[in-house]
Structure 1
């Protein structure tokens, strides 16, 4: 696919309130993207999940036999946490002077899709009932799992946000770098393996079902193909 132009405008409110944003230092623009995500995605996530937990309703059971055959894997916590590094990294990459408007369009649609997932959490909640398999080991791993369970009620089952968002962020970085011939095999392998380990971590620490991974991948693939990629950049593959 040959190079082209952005096919979507940024929200007009950004031009009204931040007319000089393209002149900002890179760290400031990256912080702007990160704050935009935190306010409009991270905070609403907490609200939607607690609403689902408050209702205490599960619309069905999507557990399969393989979900319980996968052993609790304490080291997978490392990759579950690694997901949170992706967001500032993508914000920093997107804050490069030649990518800023593309990055803002991406974050707008990325957050819009995330809100769609929140709606699923609220109207079609499914409780994850695998936490009885968690082993609370002494030290960091046990401490993290205790805090995770306290902060994250088990009603944000499908599609997995960790899977959907990490996959989407990988795809946009891949598109940007491939468009500039900056996607060597070594970087591609590291990025794909790390992201796949994030997906595994969701079932490895018993936060999600396998169906949540599949549905998260499906949401990303469909949204990227039909709504995201043509809105931000015409990449060459």
Structure 2
């Protein structure tokens, strides 16, 4: 049996000689309890920390909604040969709201998928930080380059939504997501970054089928942003672009000094 990880009286920050991981000091209280409850307490509080860092979303979304200003209409980017908009040609699929809601599953899966050692925990915190940074950039776009999502108000969509069993689910999300949070789609950005981090950890454990299943779910979630009429096609594409840029120039580089994980009980990195 592998030896259990020993607790170390250090903070999560890496030494300056190892520039790979830069951990914010706000995580220090969480770091102190990382070994309690076999790591489950750390993961649970990491979920809460993620939601707390993403909470400015509501403020920026409501401010943009109260202003009722639209700088441009993203649907005008994609026009079909007959002059109609591609976004209008994408069908409304009421049950796809269930897939849309799986964003919350990614929030939970991220911390609980990280290896239960100090290296894994540091990588988890860095992943959360980059998700937050990408989201904060999107909040600036919501405020200064707002675009109203009027797809949900199309008469055909409204009629189908009103008679659908999923109407309460749409009602709650329409309250949460005011129609000025169009681009970039944080549903796409946040889940992409979470999936990239989870893939790294699962690959080291040989969980390849689980990785495939997760990316199938992510693809379905991305499509659901369109079939629920919560986003324009441009929103999904710009959300993916933001995720790719954040991964390539951020999280990927932060991980370059790290080794692949063996077992979950791999000895922690010395700091």
TM-score by length of 1: 0.89
- The answer to whether the 8 A contact 1:30-1:95 is kept is no
Which position in structure 2 is the counterpart of 1:44?
56
C-alpha change, 1:126 and 1:193, in structure 2 (3 Å) is same
- Equivalent position to 2:124, from 97, 103, 106: 103
Segments of structure 1 that go 5 or more residues without pairing to the other structure are none
- The answer to whether the 8 A contact 1:67-1:209 is kept is yes
Which position in structure 2 is the counterpart of 1:182?
206
Which position in structure 2 is the counterpart of 1:55?
67
- The answer to whether the 8 A contact 2:115-2:201 is kept is no
Which position in structure 2 is the counterpart of 1:93?
113
What's the RMSD between the two structures over aligned residues? 1.9
Count residues in correspondence.
228
Which position in structure 2 is the counterpart of 1:222?
245
Residues 74-83 or 127-136, more deviating: 127-136
Which position in structure 1 is the counterpart of 2:175?
150
User: Deviations 1:72-105 (Å, cap 9, x if unpaired)?
Assistant: 0012111001111110111211262351111112
- Equivalent position to 1:232, from 227, 244, 255: 255
Residues 142-151 or 26-35, more deviating: 142-151
Q: Residue 139 of structure 1: CA displacement?
A: 5.7
1:214 is paired with a residue whose SS is helix
Q: Over alpha carbons, which structure has the higher Rg?
A: 2
Q: Residue 187 of structure 1: CA displacement?
A: 2.1
Which position in structure 1 is the counterpart of 2:137?
116
User: In structure 1, what is the Cα distance between the partners aligned to 2:139 and 2:255?
Assistant: 23
Q: Residue 137 of structure 1: CA displacement?
A: 4.7
- The answer to whether the 8 A contact 1:27-1:95 is kept is no
C-alpha change, 1:45 and 1:13, in structure 2 (3 Å) is closer
Which position in structure 2 is the counterpart of 1:75?
95
- The answer to whether the 8 A contact 2:33-2:42 is kept is yes
User: In structure 1, what is the Cα distance between the partners aligned to 2:21 and 2:173?
Assistant: 38
User: In structure 2, what is the Cα distance between the partners aligned to 1:149 and 1:13?
Assistant: 32
C-alpha change, 1:9 and 1:129, in structure 2 (3 Å) is same
Segments of structure 2 that go 5 or more residues without pairing to the other structure are 1-17, 79-84, 261-271
Which position in structure 2 is the counterpart of 1:208?
231
User: In structure 2, what is the Cα distance between the partners aligned to 1:13 and 1:127?
Assistant: 35
Which position in structure 2 is the counterpart of 1:129?
150
Task: Using CA pairs under 8 Å that are at least 6 residues apart, name the structure with larger relative contact order, 1 or 2.
Answer: 1
TM-score by length of 2: 0.78
**Higher helix content, 1 or 2:** 1
Indicate yes or no: 2:189 matched with 1:164: yes
Q: Residue 150 of structure 1: CA displacement?
A: 2.9
- The answer to whether the 8 A contact 1:106-1:232 is kept is no
Which position in structure 2 is the counterpart of 1:66?
86
